[in-house]
Amino acid sequence: MKNVVRFFLALLFLPLCFSARAEKKPNIVLIICDDAGFADFGFQGSKIMKTPHLDKACASGVRFAEGYVTSAVCAPSRAGIITGRYQQRFGYEQINIIGYMDKNSALKGENMGLPESEKTLANYLKEAGYATGFFGKWHLGDGDQFHPTKRGFDEFIGFRDGSRSYFAYPEKELKKPHMKYKRMEWGYKKFKEPEYYMTDLLGDEAAKFIEKHKEGPFFEIVSFNAVHTPLEYLPEDTAQFPELNGKRKVLAGMTLALDRACGTIFNKLEELGLSDNTIIAFVSDNGGPTDKNASCNLPLSGTKSNYLEGGIRVPFFMTWPAGFPAGLTYDQPVSTLDFGPTFLKAAGLKAQDYKIMDGKDLKPFVNAVTPNAPHDELYWKKAERAAFREGDWKLIRYADRPAELYNIAEDISETNDLALTYPDKVRKMYKKIWEWERHHPAPLWIIDRKWDVYDLERMDKYHLK
């Protein structure tokens, strides 16, 4: 009789069990690499770089062929990613190097960072019951008030500055004033230099975080400093590229290590049976610097720090077996701003639960529930320099020469400037940039004032007054 009762009780609660499983919040792993070239991964078409783990992950999800960041340099781009908001909304557009400043400088390094009034994705997800961790390069403020553990992250292993060695610094070097925020930190003000290659270490620590929080849900950002300078590598990695030499050979070795570290994370998820209910997002924080680390952005023109496609269009994919199709290349423009709404909606939050975000939940778009593009308009701005994409058209505004106009669908390499052919379109798009930027506060920090003051004569030239 007892067994019969148990049987019927099991039948009674079975739908609830399936419902709970179906509604289980997904884990979220956001991987940000640093200064990677658009064409420097197998999933982006490279026949030289060896990235088997990333290629496999990309094939299991959605590759975004037109994935954009919000800035062509590191720190502002990361500010947009971690808030889901254009960084211009809170004055974070001009500064990139938020590190040691000379004591006589008007710029106070320790007071520069992501404004404390801004909530991060980690803040929201922590409130939604997620364990949160950050691993690697922070670059969103060196002062203690900006520390990751004070911005929504339960755990932090990494460094506050924008770059550092991939190996341990000698103690003598660490005593120099400018090294204050390059030190490796394990929590809050607990310092210990890495015992082995930084890229591998970050992958290992991110995997340990997954193991620790395997019951979920968890959210981690793995912010590799690879493949940013300094160009430091393991000889066994570069040895796999005998056909290369110089910086390109070093970059290939560093990219191989990056792929290996990502594989450590992916394998841990697979080992623990978490892959099906985990969102993985992979992106570079800006375009590759073709000079400093010999990145390749082809067929795009441009490089890190400028608003040609090579500076702002990046390797970008997302996987989520429970929510995204596999093997899809999505060819509409998307942005790292979209991480915020996508993650928070998946975690069960509603739009009214968080600040206005500029991105879109990508799930209905990649599943063809919403046939139109996520973004009709995308903007980039740093002082006078700006860019605006509207549909297939892109306008680049300069401080020292006439604007340029390109049709990205027909001219991905931006070699055919159509500004003189379509002057009315230039004027209308130029005015839209002005309308967009006029609603934002002045930049919190100004590096070079001559590029920041709007030139009324230039406004007259484009009939904006």
Note the pLDDT of residue 4.
Answer: 44
**What whole-number distance in Å separates Cα of residue 308 and Cα of residue 315?**
15
> Strands 27-33, 278-284: parallel, antiparallel or unpaired by DSSP?
parallel
Closest by CA position to 145, among listed 117, 185, 107, 183: 117
CA angle 302, 457, 437 (to 5 degrees): 55
Is the pLDDT at 6 greater than 70, yes or no? no
Identity of the residue numbered 38: F
Q: Which CATH class is domain 377-461?
A: alpha beta
Ranges 141-145, 349-353, 434-438: which has the least confidence: 349-353
Boundaries of CATH 3.40.720.10 in the chain? Answer: 24-366
Beta-carbon count within 10 A of 359 CB: 25
8 A C-beta contact, residue 85 and residue 356: yes
- CATH tag, 24-366: 3.40.720.10
Is the pLDDT at 356 greater than 80, yes or no? yes
Identity of the residue numbered 82: I
Token pair 């995204």: residue: 324
**Distance of alpha carbon 100 from its chain centroid, rounded?**
23
**What whole-number distance in Å separates Cα of residue 31 and Cα of residue 227?**
13
Note the pLDDT of residue 370.
Answer: 80
pLDDT exceeding 90 applies to what percent of the chain? 82
Note the pLDDT of residue 454.
Answer: 33
Note the pLDDT of residue 36.
Answer: 98
Note the pLDDT of residue 455.
Answer: 33
Ranges 262-271, 317-326, 370-379: which has the least confidence: 370-379
Q: How far apart are the first and last CA of the chain?
A: 87
Closest by CA position to 84, among listed 305, 297, 361: 361
Boundaries of CATH 3.30.1120.10 in the chain? Answer: 377-461
Note the pLDDT of residue 108.
Answer: 56
Closest by CA position to 312, among listed 288, 296, 290, 342: 288
The predicted model gives 16-39 an average pLDDT of 80
pLDDT tens digits, 207-246: 999 999 999 899 999 999 999 999 999 999 999 999 999 9
**What whole-number distance in Å separates Cα of residue 260 and Cα of residue 201?**
11
8 A C-beta contact, residue 317 and residue 43: yes
